[in-house]
Structures are given as C-alpha cells and as structure tokens.
Structure 1
C-alpha cells in the first residue's frame, strides 16, 4: 500500500499520547453524551412535555443525521483536510449541546423544535468527527502502533456507549439535573480542542482523473429522502398508523428513493457512496456486521426503559445495570486487539458477536420476577460488553486495513455510517416493537401462563421481550454476514504489508 505525498508530509509529525487523548475525547462526545437520551428520555419526556413517539425520534435522529452525512464528511475530509473537518465536528458538538441544554419545558413546537434541532446538530458533529479522526489515526500511525491507537479510539466509541446509561442516570438523578450532561460535554469538547491544537493537516492525494468531478448531490438527496422516510415511518408508526395512507406513502417513498439511489450510485464515477469498496469481502463483512451490532443498541432503550416503567427503577438504578457492560468493554477492547494479532479479524469478530447475542438473549427474559430479571440483565449487559470488546478493534482494523490511502476517508465514513445508521434504525425498530407489543390484549398474554409475578404490567413486559428479541435477531444476522464475507485468513498482500502482525494459523475458523 503506497502513501500519498500529503500523507507523507503529515506523518513527519509524530502524535503524542496527549493528542490521542484529545481524539478519544472528541469521539466520546457523541457516544457518551449524545447517547445519554437512551436512558434519560423516559424520565424527562414528561418534564419537557413531549409525546413518546417524538421522544423516540429525538433518540434516533442523532444517529440518523450522523449516518446520512458521515460519508459526505469523510469525502470532504479527504479533499479539504481531515484536521479541518475534525475541528468543525467539535464546534458542532458544542453548538448542539448548547441548544439541548437550553431547550425550554412545555412550550409545544418550540420545545420539540429545539430538542430535535440540537440532536440533529449533534448528529452532524459525529458525522464530521468519526471519519476524520479514524483517517488521521491511519495517517499518523502504522502497524501495531495503529492497532493500539484504534483500540483507544474504540474505547472512546464503544467504551463511551458503555458508560452512557450509568452517566446519564447519575447526572439526571443528581441535583445538577439532566441538562448538566450537555454542559459537561461542552467543557470536554473545549478540552479536546486544546489537546488537539497544532495537529497538522492531512488529506488524500487527488486523483487527476477525478480532480474536476462534481459532488454527487443527486445521490445524497435520494439517500436522505430514503433514510428520513423509513426512520419517520418506524419511529412514528404507532402514532400515524402502520397501514395508514401516510404510513404506506412513507414506505413507498423509501422503496422508490432507494431504487433511484442505487441506480445513480452504480452509474456515476464520482458516486456519493463508492460501492466498489464492497468488492472487498473483509470490508463488506466488517461494515455489515458493524451495522447490525450497532443496531443492537436498541437493547439499551428497551431494557432500561422497561425496568424504569414496569419495575419502578430510577434512571440511576437502571443505569447501574450497565456497570458490568462498561467494565467488560474497557477491559476487553485491548484483548480484542491481541486476538486480532493472533488470529486475524474473523475469529474474534465471530466470538464477540456470539457472546453479544447470548448477553442480549438473557436481557430478553422479561417473563421472570423483577429480582431474577435484574440479575440476568446485569449478567447479560456484562456479556454484551465482553462481546463488543472482542469485536471492536478487529472489525475496525478489518474495515480499513486494505483500503487505498486515497479512499480511507470515504471508507471510514462508510464504516462509521454503518455504526450510526445501525444505531438509529435499531433503536427506532426496537422502540416501535416495544410500543406495539404493549397493545396486545393482556388477558391473552396471561392465558399463556408464561409471565410470572405481577400481572398488571404483562403488556409492558411482552412488548419489552419483542423489542429485545429483535436485537437478538440482528446479532444472528451479523454472525451470518461475518461467516459469509470475512475470509478465514488475512489476504496475502495484507500480510506482506503488515510484517508486525502475527499470521493466523492455517486451521480453524
């Protein structure tokens, strides 16, 4: 793999641990602070005076906007500078946090508008930060040093998501209140700017054949329409009606715009999403499984919401259930790095996905007594963290290890687009199934004789089980995608380019 002239110039500057900490803080502003609503929203929606369906949309819209624009930001990072886009993302994070922190209560459209606008800006922030920082890590590090840096990057993303429920619950239950979450985010964003000060610019070498190519605005427009239509349908389905004229129209818009988008992207040379990247099986398997495992984030909003509403726990008490998740993911991310070096990406990705699936399945046993369910959920979240820790670094490395330097920003954007869209769609579907399941006749559920203990909340518990089992299904499909797409061994050319990585054995998975 060759290195472009701009990247060679950038790599003459050597990053320090202080710089890497700045990157982690920049990344964590999305996965920790922006994602706190997964646990906090059940407790603040009444305070703000917003309906459940709009609250669900507020949770998912950040990941949706991140997913929509992350490829655009990755491409811009390659063209105009990864450092510039990284700084822009941090400034947007500050702006989005200010809007949410200042959102008034019970002012109708103003409250809803500010909440959704702040969440959308946070999504744009993540779209800028994630691909640009990944590309900078690839530009500034090599070999094992890069794998170490990616592990710490993963701590910022996966580790941040592990701490989000506990942190959000703690702050919401404290005298500082839930708004303090976003003021603290602003402080850490400013600290990240200070730590990253002096980062040299890095950009990809321009392809002379595409130097004058225009941006694929038509592809972007149909992509936005496609994703907005399906997200609104999923999140607002219980309110507008799944089979209503509006609902079916949204489905039709999604299908038609999706087909037009694929038609545009397969014909244009400068396509918005470079579909040629998916010819690489390892990249395809890593990206698809990343989408599906991030979709399992719906486990958090359903399980934590269920124990708050049906079990009477506070946001802090429910957040404590994820303590094992946080500890496990932080302890096992570096283990995943070692497994990558020993076995290549396929096996740790499979092991991690399987452990994650078992953990979510344990969280799905909502028919038990509350005391039993809380124990199993704590263990389940811990296994969830172990699985993601095994999976994170091998998957990230697999997605970027064989991508040309000129496309690393776009490839990073696609990979992280999968994270954000998986999170947005998984949360939206899980929440919608959770709400829909509650409409089943409680007497019918009771007649099955499955749900023990209290019977006044069986509809809530049944809805929770349906929403959680969907996440188990997502993990099963992720495992299948890894088996089909990711090769058993690293490609020969990749091994030759990475003499520091121990070659995996010739047998096994």
Structure 2
C-alpha cells in the first residue's frame, strides 16, 4: 500500500510500548518464580513448563504471523497481538491453578508472535536510512532492554503489590500502545499466487518444537531413557528431517530457506538465537540468590539494575559502531563481554557481600554486551531482505529470539534443577550459568564464521552495493 506517511516519535513510542508488553508478561515471571510457586503451590517443573510455553508458542507461530502480516497488514496483526495480550494477562491475574496459568501463557505466546515481527516490519516500511537505524535502536530498547527493565520492575511490583499486578501494568502498556499507533496507516504487500500458506510444514514444525521443548523441560521427570523421553527425541530428530525436506521442496515453504543464503541474515539469526538462550542466566542467578542467599524478589531485581542501565545506554553505542565499522566488530565484542559477565556470576563460592558485588558487576558487563549487539544484529538481518519479505524475515529473526530464550530457559533450569537434586545449590547455580557461557561462546563462533569483516554488501540487480562507506574492519 503506497503512502507518504513517515514514521515519527509517537508511532515509535507506541511500538516500543507494544514490545515492552512481551517482556512484562514473559521475563518478569522468570524473576519471581519463588513467589509464584509459593502462591500457586505448584512444582518447579510445572511452573517452568508453563513459563516456557509463551516463548515456545511465540517461536512456533511468529514466522506464520510475520508472513500473514505481509499479506493482511502489519498494523492489523500488531493490533491483534496487543488485544491477545490483554486477554492473556487477565487469565494470569485471575488464575488460581495451573489450567488458567497455562491458557494465559499460551495466549500471550500468540500475542508475542503477532507483535514482534509486525512492529519490526512497520519500522522497516516507515523509516529509512539512519532514521531506521535509530528507530531499530529504540525498538531494541523494548526488545533487548525490556529484559532488564522488567527484571527490575517485576521484582519491585511482586514485592510491593504482588506478582499478579505485573500483568495489570502489562495491560496498561498495551492500551497505551494501541492508542499511540492508531493513526499509523496500514502497510502490506500484494498477494501473489505463491503465497498459499504451507500448512503441512507448519504442523510438522509445531510437532518438532513441542517434542523438543517437552523433552528438555520434563525429560528428567520422565527419565531420560524412558519410552516417553526416547519417543520425544525420535519425533524431534525425524520430524526435523521431514520438516527440512518439506520446506526445501516447496516454493511457499513455511520457512523460506532461500533467505538463509544471505550470510549476514544467517549469522545474525543464529547468533541471535544463541544470545537469547543466554537469558537463562537471568533466571538461574535470580533463583539462586533468592533460594541460596535469602534475597527477596526486589533485592534480586536490584542486582540486575546495572544490566538494565547498560543495555539501554549501549544500544545507541552499538548503532554508532555499526555505522562506523560494520556489524561484525560490535557483535564480536558483545559476545566476549557477555561471556565475561556470566563467568563472574558463576563464582558462587564467594561470601555474601563479595558475591553480591561480583554479581552486580557481572550483570553490568553482561548488559553492556547485549546492548552493543542489539542494533547491529537487528538492522543487518532485516535490512538485507526484500520489502515483500519483511514480515516473514522479521518473523524468522524473532523466532530465533523467542525459541532461543525458551530453550535457553528450559536447559538452564533443567541443569540447575538436576544438580540441585544432589543438595548443593551453589554447584547447581554454577552449572546452570556455565550452560549459558557455552551458548554465548557458540554465538561468538557463529559470528566469526558467517559475518564478514567490514560493511554489509548486498546484491541489487546483480550489482554489489555497499550499504555504508567501507572503513577499517575488525
């Protein structure tokens, strides 16, 4: 749809508020799990499953929602997502047991699947050049900075008002977002004959993701060599192979594999998955200091205040480094800093005061790294795909975020719970955090092996064109 509309600060604020709602209903529960568990009287495994469902369902449906938004309208799908969040939040406000908790988390997963790719596509369509990079930086304030904001805010709300009030605030931000984007014109691409939805690939993808998530979160409960666990592993492996065969044999595959021919998009998406998996460090650190050190939800949230400040402060720095030296340099530095920050958190043998200081420093360094990574990764991934594929590409990129976060959370909690079963909470925390160091190290390898040095170069009508003037590479 052609329009002369240009993105403005009102639109951008509405988009940021919309993105923040995801973190308010997703990240905050990670930081107040002991409070939720005490209030609801459910097991840690059941609570972990319920919490991870939001990331799982958003990850499963986000590509479909992104592709649908390309055809039906990015603003329309974003609006549907915001309304779904209100419904899901109400479920959690009034839940008294696991059933409504799970239903609310699933609805919020659908909400995130709609909001995240549609808002990125709106930014791509209504902002250009440096303005787009600035807009993506602010979008990253909500997306990457949201984890730090809600880590602090969630602990404060849970301690002073109760954990259910987190979702009251989520509804307030949702209503503000709906108001601020109401005047944004619709944007969508024209339908084509090849745009028929790949239902078979979609169904197989769901089966694979559910099987993988369940075996990670409940494998220890079932027994790793039990028939149930082995069956789930078989579904994951065989289903994954079948899925690849389906999407590569169709022109309208559920995931457009051809997008991954772009090495910039591939490097950013793979590393994005792995660095979002590192979010598991937040739940391990917050749970440990509450269970092992007697901290309150608010006190544990205060430990990550430096993380919040530095993520927000460094996002624009990452944008400037992108413009100065290309995407690889800030992304590499980011991974190194994330690894260093988590290493500091693993020093659980230290006495209370010293460990508290070390964790604060660790969270701060961790936040600096994620802040530097956010804009170079998002801008490089999204700017290198055709406008007609903006929603789908944004969906794939954000699918890597949500699935990375979901599986990182599941694996971190599984490692923590498994080691804690031997009665040593300090060793459990160190083991869970070490898993996240491995994720960050793999992200570093992915960047070094896929993202070229220097500035992004893309093909336009057969000619290689530099997106920014070439300068000294890393």
| 1:157 maps to 2:139 | no
Q: CA deviation at 1:83?
A: 0.9
Query: Quick one: which of 50, 64, 70 aligns to 2:56?
Result: 64
Which residue, out of 431, 435, 440, partners 1:475? 440
5+ unaligned residues in a row in structure 1: which ranges?
1-5, 105-110, 443-458
Cα-to-partner distance string for 1:76-121 (whole Å, 9 max, x where unaligned): 00011111101001001111100011101xxxxxx11111111111
User: Which residue of structure 2 lines up, in the alignment, with residue 191 of structure 1?
Assistant: 176
Query: How many angstroms does 1:248 deviate by?
Result: 1.2
Q: Give the secondary-structure state (helix, strand or coil) at the position aligned to 1:412.
A: helix
Whole-angstrom CA distance in 2 between matches of 1:498 and 1:296: 34
CA–CA separation in structure 1 for the residues paired with 2:368 and 2:290 = 25
What is the CA–CA distance in structure 2 between the aligned matches of 1:184 and 1:394, rounded to whole Å?
30
Q: Do residues 314 (structure 1) and 296 (structure 2) align?
A: yes
Instruction: Tell me whether 1:249 sits opposite 2:235 in the alignment.
Output: no
Looking at structure 2, the residues matched to 492 and 253 of structure 1 have their Cα atoms a distance apart, in angstroms, of 39
| Aligned position for 1:179 | 164
CA contact (8 A) 1:163 1:322 kept: no
The alpha carbon displacement at 1:439 in A equals 2.7
Whole-Å separation in 2 of the counterparts to 1:191 and 1:389: 25
Worse-superposed segment, 65-74 or 180-189: 180-189
Asked if the contact 1:40/1:315 (under 8 Å) is kept, the reply is yes
The residue aligned with 2:17 is 25
Checking the alignment, whether the CA contact within 8 Å between 2:326 and 2:456 is kept in structure 1 is no
The whole-number CA distance in structure 2 between the counterparts of 1:298 and 1:438 is 16
Q: Corresponding residue for 2:215?
A: 233
- Relative distance call for 1:77 and 1:88 in structure 2 (3 A) is same
Q: 1:409-463 CA deviation, whole Å, 9 max, x = no partner?
A: 11000000000000000000000000011233x5xxxxxxxxxxxxxxxx11111
Mapped contact 1:31–1:158 kept (Cα < 8 A): no
CA RMSD of aligned residues (A): 1.6
Structure 1 CA distance, aligned partners of 2:369 and 2:470? 20
Task: Report the CA distance between 1:32 and its aligned residue.
Answer: 3.0
**Does 1:223 find its partner at 2:205?**
yes
Going from structure 1 to structure 2, the CA distance change for 1:494 and 1:392 (only over 3 Å counts) comes to farther
Distance 2:456 2:51 in 1: 39
Question: Paired residue for 2:130?
Answer: 144
C-alpha separation between the residues in 1 aligned to 2:221 and 2:417? 10
Give the TM-score normalised by the residue count of structure 2.
0.97
Q: Report the Cα offset of residue 401 of structure 1.
A: 1.5
Question: How far 1:273 moved relative to its partner?
Answer: 0.5
CA distance in 2, matches of 1:508, 1:137: 28
Is 2:474 the counterpart of 1:503?
A: no
**Matches of residues 33-432 of structure 1 in structure 2 within 5 Å?**
33-104=25-96, 111-174=97-160, 176-207=161-192, 209-210=193-194, 213-432=195-414
**5+ unaligned residues in a row in structure 2: which ranges?**
none
**Whole-angstrom CA distance in 1 between matches of 2:314 and 2:37:** 35
Give the Cα–Cα distance (whole angstroms) in 2 for the partners of residues 380 and 67 of structure 1: 28
SS of the aligned residue for 2:32 comes to helix
Is contact 1:402–1:494 with CA below 8 Å preserved after alignment? no
Distance in 2 separating the partners of 1:352 and 1:469: 18
Larger radius of gyration: 1
Secondary structure of 2:384's aligned partner: coil
- Give the conservation status (yes or no) of the 8 Å contact 2:340–2:362: yes
TM-score w.r.t. structure 1 length? 0.90
Cα 1:120–1:36 change in 2 (3 A) is same
Distance in 1 separating the partners of 2:438 and 2:269? 17
